Chain A
Amino acid sequence: MSQKISPPDKPLTDRIRPEHAPFDVAEYERAGGYQALRRALRTMAPQEVVALVKDANLRGRGGAGFPTGVKWGLVPHGPDAPKHKYLIANGDEMEPGTFKDRLLLEGDPHQFIEAMIVAAYAIQADVGYLFLRGEYHLAAQRVQRAIEEARGRGYLGRNIKGSGFDFELHLHTSAGRYICGEETALISALEGKRAVPRAKPPFPTVAGLFGRPTVVNNVETLCNVPHIVNYGADWYRGLSRTENGGTKLYGVSGRVCHPGAWELPMGSSAREIIDEHAGGMRAGLRLRGFLPGGASTDFLTAAQLDVAMDYDAVAKAGSRMGTGTIIVLDDQTSVVAMVRNLEHFFAQESCGWCTPCRDGIPWAEKVLDDLVYGRGRPGDLELLEQQTRLLGPGRTFCAHAPGAMEPLQSALQHWRGDFEAGIAPAAAAPAIAGPATPEAPRPLSEVLETTPMGPVGEGGR
């Protein structure tokens, strides 16, 4: 490299200037951009890039946390490997409460494109797609322009920078369904079909898009790759406070003083993220619980704020880090109504392919609706608990329904009294009329005050 660049401690967001246009290709190059691509093409064999990413312990940032280098290693390599392979960036960011990939795509589109080319080189993919959700109009516009600039500079197309490596990148904007974020459903969507998940095996790394070997990686995951190539696996692991490598884009939404997103060392505690970066709760509000990584993660309570936000520690605490974007539940908001809102989302976004998910989540939503309005009947809580088991892992075709059950089962566990308070007084059996947890149920009048104005219609679709 001609110029010496000191390794950044916030590599993903180093070049992002909030409220400004992103770097164009020339500015990006001046800031050290496309150096990782040159280095990989000139000095590394594809398998060496795979080994480096494995060594860095980069784990998928889309929610599941699967080791990226391992996934790449599952793709057939070598002279007998299929000629066509695909790389897909999952930019279908629709997990409620999640707003990190938008930031990366709008703020530094060339970082994303360079990452795609390096990753494609590692798995020897000849075509790539960014699967972007349809509502991200600004991101689409900026990425499309950056693709054209990169093509103009010879970073995309045939024989990239004289290396003999060919790679073409296309933008696909979706038409809106949460299930598209599931990698096999995403592949169905990209083939122009309903976004219905597929049975695994075969895994996409062997038979994915159009039946060819395919890697699907989250946008944030990919954006780490050029930096790992530039500064090495040791540096990358050193950014983290825990075993999981790198930094993480964390976010906080809900009634805190300064909602936002920040790139921090992997393993920063939830307390630090909420109190220091998001400025703590708004005046007069107390934190009651939080969803650590989006709508499909189990609630953690105020007593668990010191959990290190990485894949292993959050799992140990009884939830999932998911996307790392925290949603805060305050003490003035009805937890029953919040869970009802979450289940409405999951019910609407079920693809309808398998019966437990298609019929079970709307049923849970209906029961929650009754509890929100004080119309609950004895047995409703037991019914909800049964649903969390019947829709749990292994009972449905994909992870949609189990994800939907996570906030419900944990809320029932932590704040059972709140749910009991929604059972109509006349109908309540004496045995379950009182609070079952140390936390007193909130009066019904208070619950109703914080609920929405009624069920939301299906819209004119």
Chain B
Amino acid sequence: MLSEQEQREIAAERAHYEQPQAAAIEALKIVQAHRGWVSDEAVADIAAALDTSTAAIDAVATFYNLIYRQPVGRHVIHVCDSVSCWLMGQPRLLELLRAELGIDLGQTTPDGRFTLLPTVCLGTCDRAPAMLVGRDTHRDLEGVDAQRLATLLAAYE
């Protein structure tokens, strides 16, 4: 069941388009903002709210990089792996993150705090390498060491 809050927010987005299914991506993001991820049940509920089929919403939910179809940690770290960051030492940054968190790409720390994922270019190539932690973009990580990385991550409970 979608909460009343979720239903209100989805209805507001739906009003921006001449066809209800157009709000599918917004609806998925709204549910994910409240619950952290999008379950099969939520996919079906969104389909009902937008007068479309579960298959139509599932096709969308599984296509886009930023929709999580399984539970993630409280903070998702997206490390850019595109060319400018790679040139500026992204492999080293990724190694430091793996060591600091004790997990590999696609995994979540046992305490449920962080999930580590790759992302494509974050559009901040003049200050590479970069990563997103939640909604925050962290830049200029070329010379980062384990200690600075730990301090940076300590801000995320």
A20–B54 alpha-carbon span in the complex (Å): 45
A458–B117 alpha-carbon span in the complex (Å): 8
B121 partner, pick from A94, A210, A453, beta carbons under 8 A: A94
Q: Which residue of B lies closest to A454 (CB)?
A: B91
Is B151 close to A, CB under 8 A?
no
Find residues 173-222 in chain A having any chain B CB closer than 8 Å to their own CB: 173-178, 189-195, 210
Counting chain A CB atoms within 10 Å of each CB, which of B59, B88, B126, B137 scores highest? B126
Is B60 close to A, CB under 8 A?
yes
Residues of A within 8 A of B126 (CB): 99, 251-253, 259-261
Known: A102-B123, A349-B120. A177 touches B21 (CB 8 A): no
Interface string of B16-50 (1 = CB under 8 A from A): 11110111111011000000000000000000001
Q: Which residue of B lies closest to A194 (CB)?
A: B63
B83 partner, pick from A133, A345, A456, beta carbons under 8 A: A345
- Shortest CB distance B136–A (Å): 8
Find residues 101-154 in chain A having any chain B CB closer than 8 Å to their own CB: 101-102, 129, 133-138
Counting chain B CB atoms within 10 Å of each CB, which of A135, A194, A338 scores highest? A135
B83 with A135: CB separation less than 8 A = no
Is B127 close to A, CB under 8 A?
yes
Residues of A within 8 A of B68 (CB): 460-461
- Shortest CB distance A6–B (Å): 30
A191 with B19: CB separation less than 8 A = yes
A135 partner, pick from B22, B84, B91, B132, beta carbons under 8 A: B132
Residues of A within 8 A of B72 (CB): 460
Residues of A in contact, count (CB < 8 Å): 66
Known: A175-B29, A192-B25, A253-B126. A327 touches B94 (CB 8 A): no
Q: Which residue of A lies closest to B61 (CB)?
A: A175
A345 with B120: CB separation less than 8 A = yes
Residues of B in contact, count (CB < 8 Å): 59
A260–B140 alpha-carbon span in the complex (Å): 12
- Shortest CB distance A121–B (Å): 20
Residues of B within 8 A of A173 (CB): 26, 29
A251 with B22: CB separation less than 8 A = no
B118 with A175: CB separation less than 8 A = no
A254 with B87: CB separation less than 8 A = yes
Known: A176-B66, A177-B63. A97 touches B84 (CB 8 A): yes
A93 with B123: CB separation less than 8 A = yes
Known: A97-B121, A251-B125, A460-B106. A189 touches B25 (CB 8 A): yes
By Cβ-Cβ distance, the 10 closest A-B pairs, closest first, are A175-B64, A192-B24, A176-B65, A253-B125, A452-B91, A96-B82, A259-B126, A253-B84, A460-B106, A96-B121
New A-B pairs, 18, CB < 8 Å, besides A129-B16, A333-B87 = A84-B18, A102-B124, A135-B78, A135-B137, A175-B29, A177-B63, A192-B17, A192-B19, A193-B56, A194-B59, A254-B87, A341-B82, A451-B91, A456-B105, A459-B105, A460-B72, A460-B117, A461-B68
**Residues of chain B having any CB pair with chain A under 8 Å:** 16-19, 21-26, 28-29, 50, 56, 59-60, 62-70, 72, 78, 81-84, 86-88, 90-91, 94-95, 104-108, 115, 117-128, 132, 135, 137
20 chain-A/chain-B pairs, Cβ below 8 angstroms: A84-B18, A96-B82, A96-B83, A96-B84, A99-B125, A102-B124, A135-B78, A174-B66, A192-B22, A210-B18, A253-B126, A254-B84, A254-B88, A261-B126, A295-B121, A325-B125, A341-B82, A344-B81, A460-B107, A461-B69
